[in-house]
């Protein structure tokens, strides 16, 4: 069973970015409709449409854009003055001339009143949070380059982005680390602005880049993990958990969210979908560079972290079962832990102890076999008493191991001064080792250890056995 979300190592940056986007949307963008409505209302009441909009239509015709001028004139007569206003304000060339007093000139009648009204209107528009912090491709500012990657078009746009960020952010942050993930988001957000900055032309429209930054995270997820099965979070309203799927399986979720936003939820919104492409490419390039620097080791690091979390959870479960006197189930948990960590002496000893408490001969022999096999590996520093106990429990049905492995167990017993167990194991080896592959080494070690321990009579018995069975190999 896959582990539940491990909040002992929460995705701090992912959660912080989500919180920042939500707070900015609620407390920053939340009042924009009212602020914009106040600005538009003032624009009409100050008489600015009568001065500026006809001037804009005339300017379009002077630039040979008669078709567009005619359409806008029709819209203006049809009561769609706001459409004409927005088109005018997104026309960079015209707005530059308007601000430079080249459209409405100081010599024109009513210039001062117009200038005061225009400044008042622009001050009101400046209070619209989204416009102030969004990216204006034709007029980029440092603040907007950073601010635009935390802005959203509406509540559904925000919700869709937060779901995707929540799903992939945890895993990517685990691979890159907190600072690396933050850098990915920020650089990806800047990459999302590149298409607009390159192809801005005369537009003064603004771009919201949160989706571009999240697209960078999505691309990094795919590049880092590809077809690997990765445990990621899912979040459906109030239900969340983890599931193991190939990383590429999340791609349809991201594409589906993009299509849903573009054609259903926000078809006429102010979200710049071209920025998503820029963010995606930026994230892919950054992740590719990171993976090249790390020689592809990032997926393994996440899998290792998930394995560590699962091990910790299993260990806690085993301790809980022991506390509840459910020794058989606890022994089974410890067996799973030992399989995961075959050279953890503490786990091996605890497994053997709990199996003994279970009073099940099969569980005891299984635990003893795992202890002996671990002790046969040279890297293991097994406690002598635990090893001797395992040898006794496995006496009736010893595990299948090579003579060399058994000899290493015997030498470990000697190193721990468990002479009785070592001697008994040496006698078994002698009975099986007619060719002298392992037993002579153990007998030599036994003789030496007993002599150093001040037990000359036992040492002499071992020496006589060695001389009798393997006279050509005696070294003492």
pTM: 0.58
Give per-residue pLDDT as tens, 345-378. 777 778 778 888 888 778 878 877 777 777 777 5
Q: Is residue 171 within 8 Å of 246, Cβ to Cβ? A: no
Q: Tokens at residue 306, please?
A: 């998930």
Give per-residue pLDDT as tens, 24-45. 999 999 989 999 999 999 999 9
Q: How far is CA 57 from the centre of its chain?
A: 53
Give per-residue pLDDT as tens, 372-415. 777 777 555 677 777 777 777 777 677 777 777 777 777 877 77
Q: What is the C-alpha to C-alpha distance for residues 48 and 55, in angstroms, rounded to an integer?
A: 11
Helices H, strands E: what count in the chain? 23, 2
Q: What is the C-alpha to C-alpha distance for residues 446 and 428, in angstroms, rounded to an integer?
A: 14
Q: What is the C-alpha to C-alpha distance for residues 467 and 449, in angstroms, rounded to an integer?
A: 17
Look at strands 239-246 and 229-236 and give their pairing: antiparallel
Q: Is residue 419 within 8 Å of 455, Cβ to Cβ? A: yes
Phi-psi region of 5 (alpha: psi -120 to 50; beta: other; left: phi over 0): beta
Give per-residue pLDDT as tens, 128-156. 998 888 887 767 788 888 888 999 888 88
Q: Is residue 314 within 8 Å of 308, Cβ to Cβ? A: no
Give per-residue pLDDT as tens, 226-263. 766 555 555 555 555 555 666 566 667 667 766 676 66
Which domains occur in the chain, in start order? Answer: 12-17+149-293 (no CATH), 46-127 (no CATH), 301-401 (1.25.40), 402-476 (no CATH)
As a whole number, the mean pLDDT across the chain is 79
Residues 6+ positions from 409 with CB-CB distance below 8 Å: 372, 375, 376, 387, 391, 401, 425
Residue 1: its pLDDT value, please? 34
DSSP string, 245-308: EEGGGGHHHHHHHHHHIIIII-TTSSB-HHHHHHHHHHHHHHHHHHHHHTTT-HHHHHHHHHHH
Mean predicted confidence (pLDDT) in 160-170: 84
Which residue reads 């020496």 in tokens? 463
Which residue reads 């459209």 in tokens? 103
Q: What is the C-alpha to C-alpha distance for residues 229 and 419, in angstroms, rounded to an integer?
A: 50
Residue 46: its pLDDT value, please? 92
């Amino acid at each position: 069973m896959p582990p539940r979300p491990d909040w002992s190592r929460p995705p701090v940056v992912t959660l912080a970015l989500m919180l920042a986007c939500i707070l900015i949307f609620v407390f920053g963008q939340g009042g924009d409709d009212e602020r914009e409505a106040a600005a538009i209302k003032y624009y009409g009441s100050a008489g600015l449409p009568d001065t500026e909009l006809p001037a804009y239509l005339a300017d379009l015709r002077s630039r040979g854009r008669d078709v567009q001028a005619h359409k806008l004139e029709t819209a203006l007569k049809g009561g769609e003055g706001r459409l004409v206003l927005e088109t005018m304000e997104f026309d960079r060339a015209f707005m530059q001339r308007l601000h430079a007093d080249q459209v409405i000139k100081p010599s024109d009648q009513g210039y001062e009143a117009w200038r005061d009204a225009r400044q008042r209107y622009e001050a009101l528009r400046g209070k619209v949070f989204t416009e102030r912090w969004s990216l204006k491709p034709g007029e980029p500012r440092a603040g907007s380059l950073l601010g635009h990657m935390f802005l959203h078009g509406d509540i559904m746009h925000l919700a869709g982005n937060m779901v995707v960020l929540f799903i992939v952010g945890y895993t990517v942050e685990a691979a890159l680390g907190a600072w690396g993930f933050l850098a990915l988001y920020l650089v990806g957000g800047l990459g999302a602005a590149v298409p607009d900055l390159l192809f801005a032309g005369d537009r003064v429209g603004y771009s919201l880049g949160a989706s571009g930054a999240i697209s960078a995270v999505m691309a990094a997820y795919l590049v880092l993990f590809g077809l690997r099965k990765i445990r990621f979070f899912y979040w459906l309203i109030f239900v969340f958990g983890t599931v193991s799927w190939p990383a590429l399986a999340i791609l349809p979720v991201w594409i589906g969210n993009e299509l849903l936003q573009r054609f259903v939820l926000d078809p006429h919104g102010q979200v710049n979908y071209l920025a998503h492409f820029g963010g995606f490419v930026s994230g892919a390039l950054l992740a590719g560079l990171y993976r090249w620097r790390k020689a592809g080791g990032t997926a393994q690091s996440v899998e290792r972290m998930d394995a560590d979390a699962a091990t910790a959870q299993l260990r806690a479960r085993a301790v809980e079962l022991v506390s509840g006197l459910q020794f058989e189930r606890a022994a089974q948990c410890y067996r799973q832990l030992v399989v995961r960590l075959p050279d953890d002496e503490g786990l091996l000893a605890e497994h053997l102890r709990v199996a003994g408490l279970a009073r099940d001969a099969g569980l005891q022999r299984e635990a003893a076999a795992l202890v002996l096999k671990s002790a046969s590996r040279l890297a293991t520093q097994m406690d002598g008493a635990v090893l001797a106990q395992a040898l006794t429990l496995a006496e009736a049905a010893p595990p299948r191991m090579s003579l060399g492995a058994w000899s290493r167990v015997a030498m470990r017993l000697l190193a721990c001064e468990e002479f009785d167990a070592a001697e008994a194991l040496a006698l078994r080896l002698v009975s099986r080792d007619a060719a002298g592959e392992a037993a002579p080494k153990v007998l030599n070690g036994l003789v030496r250890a007993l002599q150093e321990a001040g037990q000359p009579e036992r040492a002499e018995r071992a020496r006589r056995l060695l001389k009798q069975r393997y006279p050509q190999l005696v070294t003492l």
